[in-house]
Amino acid sequence: MNANIDLSNVILKTKRLILRPFTFDDLDDFYEYAKVPGIGEIAGWHHHQNNGESLFILNMFINEKKTFAIEYEGKVIGSLGIEEYDEKLFPDLENKLGRSLGFVLSKDYWGLGLMPEAVKEVIRYCFDDLKLDFLVGGFFSFNNQSKRVFEKCGFEYQMTITKEVLSETRETIMVALFNK
């Protein structure tokens, strides 16, 4: 069962990162990485065409209260959402509390180990503070960067599904991490 989430007053810190709610002051940083072709597409959304599009999504992040801004050296370089998962895919978990993780990182910061650092802290928060029983995540079969992040953070393969995304059929690998 999907747990209720409200990150509006949550700030998490790691050695190099601050994970915090988005604010409207983050618009320029958000647009800077969201406009890069290929970044959104590997996560299932089109790259942003203008900052008005980024403002619309930023407003959604702020209102839905389930997405962290990833701040590094004073700049927002990505996002990490604690999303609802598809309960139909995991019927055996109907009596347990869980969510799904989704993330995007500016291409300029790939390969520095920042996303695994952020995800591990959010996993800690979800299990220790929110008392969730499990987390799931998914990535497209061609998205090796997300695959490696999930592997580094202890997620294990659960299933492969096919779904329509951005007007094409994509194979999606579903992974899960259970609180042990």
Within 10 angstroms of residue 61's Cβ, the number of other Cβ atoms is 20
pLDDT at 170 over 80: no
Average pLDDT over residues 157-172: 78
**Cα-based distances in Å from 148 to 63, 103, 152, 161, 165:** 30, 13, 6, 19, 22
pLDDT at 29 over 90: yes
Name the pLDDT band for 132 (thresholds 50, 70, 90).
very high
Q: Mean pLDDT across the chain, nearest whole number?
A: 93
What is the predicted pLDDT for the residue at 140?
A: 86
Q: Encode pLDDT of 83-120 as tens digits.
A: 999 999 999 999 999 999 999 999 999 999 999 999 99
What topology does CATH give the domain 12-132? Answer: Aminopeptidase (3.40.630)
Kindly report the pTM of this predicted structure.
Answer: 0.93
Q: Domain spans of the chain?
A: 12-132
Q: How far apart are CA 67 and CA 81, in angstroms?
A: 4
